[in-house]
């Protein structure tokens, strides 16, 4: 028996199935905090709990003028944003800014409200290129963060990841020495 659209036959009973259309919930107002939206076990929460980024202001102060020019991009915000990019493999600064715009955990980590405008990608890249040409300050910031991570037990050195993109391979499938492989394995 052919049933009209929306009717299902079960035994002798015929049930009307109503397909409800979703209401436009995207426009509904809700009171919620970023704190509530970021999972308690999120990696950025763990990092925020043990890494003190406040040293960045003192380390970068000589690079900024206190009495002229327009307000700069906060150096702590900039380095924390770059940190997010490296940590989560976001290679492009434009993509990083897009991710920060929509990712609640990133906004929480950077202390940006949901309504705060995210800095422009060019501001981030120009600051990184021009203001931090001398690598000693950026390296110092990186070293302090790694130091704190090691002391907090976030980094233990048992796994090493490297980027060998620019290294020429030195492999020949036809030649290898099993004794050398065994020796190398023991060395590690």
Question: Residue 168 contacts by C-beta under 8 Å, 6 or more apart in sequence?
Answer: none
For 4-35, the pLDDT digits (tens) are 555 555 554 555 556 677 777 777 788 888 89
CA–CA separation, 95 vs 99, rounded Å? 6
Please state whether the predicted TM-score (pTM) of the whole model is above 0.75: no
Q: Which two tokens stand for residue 63?
A: 């690079």
For 129-188, the pLDDT digits (tens) are 888 777 788 888 989 998 998 899 888 777 777 666 665 566 555 555 666 666 655 565
pLDDT of residue 32: 84
125 contacts 93 by C-beta, under 8 angstroms: yes
Task: Please state the domain extents for the chain.
Answer: 35-162
């Amino acid at each position: 028996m052919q049933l009209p659209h929306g009717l299902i036959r079960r035994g002798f009973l015929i049930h009307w199935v109503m397909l409800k259309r979703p209401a436009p919930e995207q426009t509904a107002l809700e009171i919620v905090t970023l704190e509530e939206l970021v999972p308690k076990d999120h990696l950025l929460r763990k990092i925020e709990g043990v890494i003190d980024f406040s040293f960045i202001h003192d380390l970068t102060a000589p690079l900024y003028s206190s009495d002229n020019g327009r307000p700069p991009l906060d150096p702590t915000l900039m380095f924390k944003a770059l940190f997010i990019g490296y940590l989560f493999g976001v290679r492009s600064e434009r993509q990083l800014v897009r991710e920060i715009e929509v990712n609640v955990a990133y906004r929480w980590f950077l202390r940006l409200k949901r309504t705060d405008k995210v800095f422009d990608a060019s501001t981030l890249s120009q600051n990184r290129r021009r203001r931090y040409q001398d690598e000693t300050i950026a390296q110092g910031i990186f070293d302090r963060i790694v130091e704190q991570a090691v002391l907090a037990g976030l980094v233990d050195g048992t796994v090493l990841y490297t980027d060998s993109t620019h290294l020429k391979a030195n492999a020949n499938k036809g030649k290898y020495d099993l004794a050398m492989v065994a020796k190398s394995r023991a060395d590690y």
